[in-house]
Amino acid sequence: MIIENIINASVELFTISTVILMAVGVVAGLIAGAIPGFTFAMAVVLVLPFTFSMTPVAGLATMMGVYVGGLSGGLMSGILTGIPGTPSSVATTFDGFPMARNGQPGLALGLGVWSSFFGGILSAIVLVLVAPQIALIGLEFQPWDFFSLVIFALTVTASLAADNLLKGLISGLLGLLVATIGTDVIFGLPRLNFGSEALVQGFQFLPVLIGLFAFSQLLNDVRDPEMARSKISDGDAQSIKIEHRKAAIAVLKSWVNLLRSTIIGIFVGILPAAGSSISNILAYDQAKKSSKTPEKFGTGFSDGIIAPESANNATAGGTLITMMALGIPGDIVTAIMLGALLIHDVVPSPSFIADQPVIAYSIFISFFVATFMMLGLQSITLKGFVRITRLKMYILASIILFYTAVGVFALNNIEFDMWTLFLFGVFGFVLKALGFPIVPVILGVVLGSIAEKNLSQAFAITTDLAPFITRPWSLFFLTLGAVSIFFPAYQKSRGKEKWTLAFIPVFVMALSPSVFMMDGVIRPYVVAPFLLVLGGFMLWRRISGGWVLDQDDTGALVDAPDPSQLDE
Amino acid sequence: MRINRDVIVAIALLIICALFINASFRIKEATFGQMSSALWPRIILAPLTILSFVYLVRSLLQSEPVREKRGGLSGWIGYYKNPIVCFFLFFIFLITMPYFGMLIGGILFVFAMLTYLGGYRPRDIVVHGTIAVAAVGIMWSIFTFGLGVILPSGEIIPYL
């Protein structure tokens, strides 16, 4: 069955035009990812209108190319200029830039490229193996479970706003509210349109997303008149040659670090809303903590490049697992992909892989192929990157701003969509200026209709609210949601206040009742008792240790910026 | 207690909530089904109103008012002058779309953006004009001829 699906998907995917489109996508992603202030998510957003006229397979393969390319592109500017091209490459600059300054820019780039490659390939393997299994679990889900999953996705996104949990939650709710404007998804009745005929159809998801994300970001990029008029970067990398052989050997020698970082990347990716901007910093932090020579980190140490770069590419596989298996986007890019699938009348859900095997497997294969393409095309785009960075930001921003209008119009051929773009561009810009995170708004808009449909289905079955806590998966996600709300307080107080010592043990134990209620043998009779015993053991160790705070355990990551500030 | 930016934002959020709650009572009820069309918006509005109220109280109780680094409203406008002007230019671009169409309007919009952000020297104006014509022309051609999208045309020059 799997072989048959792979063959069928390959037939669709490996046409000359699709392969060329993928290659163009990878190059575009590499260059977009390399330009500071121009994240790869924006590149995926901007590519979307072009994919509208393509087949679903060709369109998604192109977007996958941009995604994989963009994840790796950030390392170029991070290593050569010290300014990360995307938030996914922040930690890469900690050692990449010093290594380049120490006279080894070719090796630094090579380490980044090969780590990205191995991280991507390993995560693609996990994606192929795990996504169908998670989709099987997803088939156990009933409307209550999906609704609770959406609640968890929103709370975890809001909690990533760290100090601004309140603003994060408000942002998520605003996103949900925006999704209710127009027509009721269940009965088709107009609602909350304030008498406007134009609003009866509601706001189309993609113009909202492009407005909130790309439009407002572009105007942020030109806010400072001096910065707007200066070249994007003064880096000169034309004479640099990537040292592929030496770098590949170094990466393989550091296989433990590579594997650990890849696992971190995949795990972070699977979590709804947590993206590569977080995984690269977490992986760097863990690599430093596990290293025999932590003092070398920050001085141009190879492990400091391998960890973040393998983790950020691995995150892509993780986010795709969540999207393809459960129909829940893991980050902005997968939210856009979800939008792209909906344009082609494909609705991701637990039965997506079984119902649409050609599209699902073409996503798997294109992720693999794009990773190989990224490896080959990095050297070529290095020259392109240098040329692009000679442009001034205001020129790029002005042209792209116009392009967003054309692209948004092309999606549905409706002029109102350009007004939607404008309105949400202003809305996104104002929210950002007031310190509200944008990602929860976007996920709120995407997840709003999913939540409402499932709630309606749940009420159609019974008006009793008890299933939200008596159904195992629903309780599981609500528990995770509750924990994610308290997580920012835990992170802030970790190592400073004694209650934090009980947080993780209690969290682990709190999961066991829901797991105990699940079907089968392993989960209720092995996993649930294990979680209970593990939590109890952790608690006992802390009590027997005198309930004393570990002075080193401050919870602070390496000298890294607050991940919540990195709006991907 | 002092009025600061957060207080104003919280009040604005509460006003938005009030407007939406009011509008939710004017949603038609379906005669079938278990869940009314107004229920989901109200489920969202209830926590949003509560959180906005918490935000208001927290902002009012803030011991140290948020310092306006940019010196009040005029400072804020000065700080965000570029985006404000760009938004205005985009607004003009959209409102004049029926007259100029996507191609001419687009060239004018990109040229205006470039010239405002990049400078008004004669050389700059020539460069910006060239970039605007080339970039918009190429994009318009790709979408019109390559992707078969019929972009809005204007009254000034029909079909463009």
> Tens digit of pLDDT for each residue in B98-111?
999 999 999 999 99
Task: Enumerate the H helices of A413-461 as residue ranges.
Answer: 416-433, 439-461
Name the pLDDT band for A393 (thresholds 50, 70, 90): confident
**Residue A363 falls inside a structural domain:** yes
With tokens 């996503």, the residue in question is A363
CA distance A29 to chain B (A): 19
**Where in the sequence is the domain holding A225, given as residue range(s)?**
2-459
CA closest to B80 among chain A residues = A223
Of B43, B67, B91, the last residue of a domain is B67
Residue B85 and residue B46 share a domain: no
Helix (H, G, I), strand (E, B) or coil at A109: helix
Residue A111 and residue A78 share a domain: yes
**Where in the sequence is the domain holding B93, given as residue range(s)?**
78-146
Looking at the predicted structure, is the pLDDT value of residue A552 above 70? no
**Residue B155 falls inside a structural domain:** no
The answer to whether B86 contacts A228, with C-beta atoms less than 8 Å apart, is no
CB A376 within 8 A of CB A325: no
Residue A474 and residue A421 share a domain: no
Burial class (CB in 10 A: 0-12, 13-18, 19+), A519: exposed
Burial class (CB in 10 A: 0-12, 13-18, 19+), A49: buried
Residue B90 and residue B132 share a domain: yes
Residue B113 and residue B62 share a domain: no
Looking at the predicted structure, is the pLDDT value of residue B42 above 90? yes
- For the ranges A125-139, A303-317, B53-67, B143-157, which has the lowest average pLDDT? B53-67
Q: What percent of chain A shows pLDDT beyond 70?
A: 92
CA closest to A176 among chain B residues = B44
B69 secondary structure, DSSP code: T
Query: Taking the mean position of all CA atoms in its chain, how far away is CA B114?
Result: 19
Looking at the predicted structure, is the pLDDT value of residue A567 above 50? no
Helix (H, G, I), strand (E, B) or coil at A84: coil
**Residue B118 falls inside a structural domain:** yes
With tokens 């309140």, the residue in question is A166
Name the pLDDT band for B2 (thresholds 50, 70, 90): low
Q: Which amino acid is at B51?
A: L
Residue A469 and residue A435 share a domain: no
Residue A518 and residue A447 share a domain: no
**Residue B24 falls inside a structural domain:** yes
Looking at the predicted structure, is the pLDDT value of residue A566 above 50? no
Complex ipTM more than 0.90, yes or no: yes
- How many distinct structural domains can be found in chain B? 2
The beta-carbon neighbor of B106 closest among A402, A413, A425 is A402
Looking at the predicted structure, is the pLDDT value of residue A155 above 60? yes
Residue B140 and residue B87 share a domain: yes
CB B102 within 8 A of CB B151: yes
Residue B82 and residue B138 share a domain: yes
Residue A115 and residue A26 share a domain: yes
Residue B57 and residue B86 share a domain: no
**Residue B157 falls inside a structural domain:** no
Q: Residues A384-391: what's their mean pLDDT?
A: 71
Residue A446 and residue A326 share a domain: yes
pLDDT digits (tens, 9 = 90+) for A251-262: 999 999 999 999
Residue A292 and residue A247 share a domain: yes
Residue B59 and residue B90 share a domain: no
Residue A369 and residue A517 share a domain: no
Name the pLDDT band for A303 (thresholds 50, 70, 90): very high
Residue A405 and residue A257 share a domain: yes
What pLDDT score was predicted for residue A563?
43
**Residue B41 falls inside a structural domain:** yes
**Residue B18 falls inside a structural domain:** yes
- For the ranges A304-308, A346-350, A382-386, A471-475, which has the lowest average pLDDT? A382-386
Side-chain-side CA neighbours of A215 within 13 Å: the count stands at: 32
Interface test with A, best of B68, B110, B117, B121 (most A CBs within 10 A): B117
Residues 418-477 on A with a CB inside 8 Å of B are 418-419, 422, 425-426, 429, 433-434, 451-452, 455-456, 459-460, 463
Q: Residues B119-126: what's their mean pLDDT?
A: 91
Helix (H, G, I), strand (E, B) or coil at B153: strand
Residue B54 and residue B32 share a domain: yes
List b or e across A366-379, with b for residues whose CB sees 16 or more CB atoms inside 10 angstroms: bbbbbbebbbebbe
- How many distinct structural domains can be found in chain A? 2
Instruction: Tell whether A176 lies on the interface with B, counting CB pairs under 8 A.
Output: yes
Average confidence score pLDDT of chain B: 88
* More confident: A511 or A439: A511
Helix (H, G, I), strand (E, B) or coil at A182: strand
Residue A365 and residue A471 share a domain: no
Encoded tokens for A47: 């590519």
What pLDDT score was predicted for residue A427?
94
CB A232 within 8 A of CB A213: no
CA distance B17 to chain A (A): 10
Residue A428 and residue A525 share a domain: no
Name the pLDDT band for A239 (thresholds 50, 70, 90): low
pLDDT digits (tens, 9 = 90+) for A402-427: 988 998 898 788 899 999 999 999 99
Reported pTM: 0.83
pLDDT digits (tens, 9 = 90+) for A169-219: 999 999 999 999 988 877 888 888 888 888 888 888 888 988 888 888 888
Of B67, B90, B115, the last residue of a domain is B67
| CB-CB neighbors (< 8 A) of A459 in chain B | 34-35
Residue B141 and residue B86 share a domain: yes
pLDDT digits (tens, 9 = 90+) for A14-34: 999 999 999 999 988 888 877
Average confidence score pLDDT of chain A: 84
**Residue A561 falls inside a structural domain:** no
Name the pLDDT band for B18 (thresholds 50, 70, 90): very high
Of B67, B98, B113, the last residue of a domain is B67
The answer to whether A422 contacts B91, with C-beta atoms less than 8 Å apart, is yes
**Residues 6 or more apart whose Cβ sits within 8 Å of residue A43:** A28, A29, A32, A33, A66, A70
Instruction: Tell whether A416 lies on the interface with B, counting CB pairs under 8 A.
Output: no
**Residue B30 falls inside a structural domain:** yes
What is the distance between the alpha carbons of residues A100 and A305, in angstroms, rounded to a whole number?
Answer: 11
Q: Which amino acid is at A310?
A: S
What is the distance between the alpha carbons of residues A390 and A232, in angstroms, rounded to a whole number?
Answer: 6
Residue A424 and residue A298 share a domain: yes
CA closest to B37 among chain A residues = A184
What pLDDT score was predicted for residue A568?
42
- For the ranges A49-63, A331-345, B117-131, which has the lowest average pLDDT? A331-345
Name the pLDDT band for A277 (thresholds 50, 70, 90): confident
